[in-house]
Amino acid sequence: MHQKPFDIPCVILSGGKSSRMEEDKSLLPFSTSDSLIQFQYNRLKPFFKKLYISSKINKFPFLNKEYLLLDESEVYSPIIALNTVFNFFKDETVFIITVDTPLVKINSLAKIIEEKTKENDICIARTKTNHNLCGVFESKACRDKIEEMLKKDIHKVGFLLNQMKTKTIKFLDEDEFINLNKKEDYYRAKLIISETNNYH
């Protein structure tokens, strides 16, 4: 287990009401936590010097407001959220992860961070597919490209990755990177976490 806090900040993208989940997944209870977002926050906090949450509104009573990055746009889009994050961090390197990937191991985060080089703008996890929002991003380079994308009304994270110098790190465990898009994913993740304590 990686113990020393990573030198870069981390932002959890909390999202909003999910059409497939039919509710705000970040507020669903998970493991021993009152909510999925609190679970993700509590497990990541010891490993990052600074940990933030990106959201449209403040729905996190446990969070100090200085670590809340509010997105003022009415459009629900990961690209809009990333734009807010990268504007906040200016020219820093930042780790991005979503609230609905609660099983990604700390050692895997460490590997992604260690594999990121100056030659890459972005370094993300990959299993059978890319996990676009689990990785390290260079704020300035990505912000400049996102501003171009928004002028053309392009909101796909995959498009951003294709336009940047993106490195992928291969992982074999699909369960570790399960994305809680649907109720069955949520119940499966709850089952996995109840059977092991290796996801911290």
Higher pLDDT, 24 or 86: 86
Residue 107 lies in a domain: yes
**Taking residues 141-170, what's their average pLDDT?**
97
Q: What pLDDT band is residue 53 in, cutting at 50, 70 and 90?
A: very high
Cβ partners under 8 Å of residue 141, min gap 6: 121, 164
Q: Does 200 have pLDDT greater than 60?
A: no
Separation of alpha carbons 173 and 176, rounded Å: 6
How confident is the model over 55-73, as pLDDT tens digits?
Answer: 999 999 999 999 999 987 7
Residue 3 lies in a domain: no
Question: Which pLDDT value is given to residue 148?
Answer: 96
Residue 80 lies in a domain: yes
Q: Does 2 have pLDDT greater than 70?
A: no
Residue 2 lies in a domain: no
Residue 5 lies in a domain: no
Among all chains, which residue has been given the structure tokens 């509590």?
42
The two three-digit tokens of residue 160, written as one number: 């951003």
Q: How many CB atoms lie within 10 A of CB 45?
A: 14
Residue 81 lies in a domain: yes
Four-CA torsion 157, 114, 50, 11, nearest 10 degrees: 10
Model pTM score: 0.94
Separation of alpha carbons 25 and 169, rounded Å: 27
Separation of alpha carbons 161 and 137, rounded Å: 10
Edge-to-edge strands, sheet with 130-138: 68-70, 51-55, 10-13, 93-98, 130-138, 122-126, 166-170
Residue 145 lies in a domain: yes
The count of structural domains within the chain is 1
Question: Which pLDDT value is given to residue 4?
Answer: 83
How confident is the model over 79-98, as pLDDT tens digits?
Answer: 999 999 999 999 999 999 99
Q: In the structure, how many helices (H) and strands (E) does the chain have?
A: 6, 9
List the domain range (segments joined by +) for residue 121: 10-195
CATH of the domain at 19: 3.90.550.10
Residue 78 lies in a domain: yes
